[in-house]
């Protein structure tokens, strides 16, 4: 359990490179201040995590910078709309429910922020007669395929550069469209 929380702490420090107080981290991790200090000590042995009177901070390249510079085809969503579309695309693209903790690690955001994104996504999918179902820490999307396609086309329209729309999901839902030529046009 402690390794998971240490990893969670490291992910937060890497994704948000501002200073984080011991109190903030203890609330975020749901552990004592003393445990946060212990996690810091363990992390600092192998990671560029530093401490000061302001708390703890990751002192290396952030995940976002590393990922965005190394893989331009799949950028990490940064804005509210990008995150909503990323989550919805993920829900449509996979056949099984998505774990919120895995997804938060994938896009380098906290679970609490991701829960807000899911709330916004629930409001968005209602326009298409779809529903986001939550079971514990897992989320899935419910509705008929034509409504999902309609939502995907709306997302594609709103995200003209297509960074967060999975080409495979679009191609499966619109087999008659030649995506290569469509992307070449934009």
Q: Which of 69-73, 106-110, 152-156, 165-169 has the lowest mean pLDDT?
A: 69-73
The pairing of beta strand 138-142 with beta strand 131-135: antiparallel
CB 91 within 8 A of CB 98: yes
Predicted confidence band at 110 (pLDDT cuts at 50, 70, 90)? confident
Question: What is the number of other CB atoms lying within 10 angstroms of the CB of residue 127?
Answer: 11
Q: What is the pTM of this model?
A: 0.50
Inform me whether the pLDDT recorded for 70 exceeds 60. no
The pairing of beta strand 131-135 with beta strand 98-99: unpaired
CATH of range 2-58; options 2.60.200.20, 1.10.3720.10, 3.30.360.10, 1.10.10.10: 1.10.10.10
Predicted confidence band at 29 (pLDDT cuts at 50, 70, 90)? very high
Inform me whether the pLDDT recorded for 21 exceeds 50. yes
Q: Tell me if domain 2-58 and domain 75-185 are identical in fold.
A: yes
Distance of alpha carbon 62 from alpha carbon 82, whole angstroms: 19
DSSP 8-state secondary structure symbol assigned to residue 16: S
Distance of alpha carbon 40 from alpha carbon 49, whole angstroms: 8
Q: 75-185 maps to which CATH number?
A: 1.10.10
| Domains in the chain: boundaries | 2-58, 75-185
């Amino acid at each position: 359990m402690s390794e998971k929380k240490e990893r969670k702490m490291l992910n937060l420090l890497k994704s948000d490179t501002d200073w984080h107080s011991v109190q903030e981290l203890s609330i975020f991790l749901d552990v004592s201040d003393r445990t946060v200090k212990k996690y810091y000590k363990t992390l600092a042995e192998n990671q560029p995590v530093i401490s000061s009177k302001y708390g703890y901070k990751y002192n290396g390249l952030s995940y976002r910078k590393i990922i965005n510079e190394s893989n331009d085809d799949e950028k990490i969503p940064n804005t509210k709309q990008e995150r909503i579309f990323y989550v919805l695309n993920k829900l449509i693209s996979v056949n099984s429910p998505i774990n919120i903790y895995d997804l938060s690690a994938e896009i380098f955001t906290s679970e609490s922020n991701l829960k807000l994104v899911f709330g916004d996504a629930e409001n968005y999918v209602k326009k298409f007669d779809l529903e986001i179902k939550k079971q514990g820490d897992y989320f899935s999307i419910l509705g008929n395929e034509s409504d999902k396609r309609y939502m995907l086309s709306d997302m594609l329209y709103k995200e003209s550069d297509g960074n967060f729309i999975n080409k495979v999901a679009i191609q499966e839902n619109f087999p008659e469209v030649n995506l290569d030529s469509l992307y070449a046009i934009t």
